[in-house]
């Protein structure tokens, strides 16, 4: 897979920035439902394009190496970072 393949897949799904696997799956379901021939859409090529883009995104997510470090966790969960930062504060903490 090359970066251009990934960019094209992101364009098909109208994704920019960060997206979770759940968001990708939900977007795939919505696109297939909208363009499926049984739902009134007659775009078989569009369905093939959507499914190909979905496979590229899944492959990228499957190959991604997740970091389970504290820093990565706090970056993904800013509310936890703030809770830890202000936990001892007499006004905001407990």
43-76 pLDDT tens trace? 788 889 999 999 999 998 888 777 778 888 888 8
Cβ neighbourhood burial of 58 (10 Å; 0-12, 13-18, 19+)? middle
C-beta neighbour count of 9 within 10 angstroms: 23
Sign of CA dihedral 18, 26, 51, 44: negative
CATH topology for the 3-63 domain = Helix Hairpins (1.10.287)
Q: Please indicate, yes or no, whether the overall pTM of this predicted structure exceeds 0.75.
A: no
Polymer length of the chain: 94
Q: Please, where in the chain does CATH 1.10.287 lie?
A: 3-63
pLDDT tens track for 4-40: 999 999 999 999 888 888 999 999 999 998 888 777 6
Helices (H), 36-77: 44-63, 70-76
């Amino acid at each position: 897979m090359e970066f251009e393949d990934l960019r094209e897949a992101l364009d098909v799904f109208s994704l920019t920035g960060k997206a979770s696997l759940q968001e990708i799956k939900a977007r795939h379901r919505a696109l297939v439902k909208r363009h499926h021939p049984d739902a009134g859409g007659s775009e078989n090529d569009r369905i093939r394009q959507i499914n190909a883009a979905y496979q590229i995104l899944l492959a990228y997510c499957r190959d991604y190496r997740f970091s389970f470090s504290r820093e990565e966790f706090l970056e993904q969960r800013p509310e936890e970072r703030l809770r830890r930062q202000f936990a001892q504060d007499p006004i905001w903490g407990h």
